Amino acid sequence: MIEPRPRLLGLLLRLLLTLTLAVLVLTRVEPAAIWEALHSAGPAAVLPVVGLLPVNLGLQWVRWHLLVRTGRLGMGPGRSLAVLLAGMPLGLVTPGRMGELGRGAMVAGPHDAVAVAGLTVLEKSFNILGGVGLALAAMVLSGYGSAWKWGLIAGAYAGAVYIALHPSRLAGLVDRLAPRLPGGAAARAARLAQRLVEGWRLAGRRAALTVLALSVLQLAVVLAQFTLCYLTASGTGEALKTAGAWAVVLGAKYFLPITVADLGVREGLALLVFADRALPTAPALATALLVYVVNVLLPALAGSLVLARRRSPS
């Protein structure tokens, strides 16, 4: 059992880091410059983000509904959508969005709750694999990095894909590493590995690979939201270079679940990457904030309404 004090300390550290990153971003680029970048572009910068939001959420729902249908949990399309949305506000306030495991609270019966948690871990794992794979491909195509680095990265990525496709080996690896981890971290890693194995048992390889393909497609939509918004806000015409820069930001963000509600990480990475690639940084920060509001906060608000409706007396 993890003690409340370490949890509270971890939350306080993430709050401090969130504030530190926010101060860093705001001291490097004036808030007025960020606002001016969006204001000068007008609705044209907002339209691709808002217009592609239904596609983004729709692909997430198709991916999730495929899993619950394959797992024979007896959820119709509307119910699976409600469960998906309900996990979003829980994921918003947890590192790595692991609070989305709380989707299990939306179903009746302990067996179904465990099954939903397993399928959620499976979905999140393959979403990360798809996102990192897409980011690597976009970075290679845009000429970011050198060949020997890509060889090392490709080897590490292939190993991650292999482990994800063989969850029993992942569980064995976690068991071997557990003695070297702190008690709380070891318990969490073992629990996540166990849930991933459970998710695989319910879904099977075919559904898991379909989820991976849908994840790549969904994250391509997200990359398009970032790229189109930035190109409009900045007035630059370097689409390939811009897409590669956002791929770096999105790919790196998966490995940095360190702040509250993901605030500061995306923006801080955008500042560093766009400055390194000699691209305007104020439109990058404006784009990051806008996509965050549309893609993260709005769905989380919808999920909060689903949760409130479920808890309200009938």
pLDDT in tens, the chain (314 residues): 344 455 555 556 656 666 666 666 556 666 666 677 767 767 888 899 999 999 999 999 999 999 988 888 878 888 888 888 888 877 676 655 656 766 766 666 555 777 888 888 888 888 888 877 877 777 777 766 666 667 777 777 787 777 777 777 776 776 676 666 665 666 667 777 777 777 878 888 888 889 888 988 998 999 999 999 999 888 888 888 898 888 888 877 766 655 555 666 777 778 888 888 888 888 888 888 888 889 888 888 888 888 777 655 44
CB 88 within 8 A of CB 303: yes
Q: Which residue has the tokens 């991916």?
A: 63
Q: Domain for residue 247, yes or no?
A: yes
Q: Domain for residue 9, yes or no?
A: no
Cα distances from 39 to residues 28, 46, 246, 275, 290, in angstroms, run 20, 10, 21, 21, 12
Q: Domain for residue 77, yes or no?
A: yes
Q: Domain for residue 1, yes or no?
A: no
Global model pTM greater than 0.75: yes
The sign of the CA dihedral 308, 311, 313, 314 is positive
CB 291 within 8 A of CB 45: no
Q: What angle do CA 186, 187, 190 make, to 5 degrees?
A: 85
Helices (H), the chain: 4-28, 31-41, 43-70, 77-92, 110-141, 147-165, 167-177, 183-234, 239-253, 265-276, 281-292, 298-311
Q: Domain for residue 28, yes or no?
A: no
Q: Domain for residue 286, yes or no?
A: yes
Q: Which domain holds residue 72?
A: 51-311
- Quick: pLDDT tens for 139-193: 777 766 666 667 777 777 787 777 777 777 776 776 676 666 665 666 667 777 7
Domain count, the chain: 1
Q: Domain for residue 31, yes or no?
A: no
Q: Domain for residue 229, yes or no?
A: yes
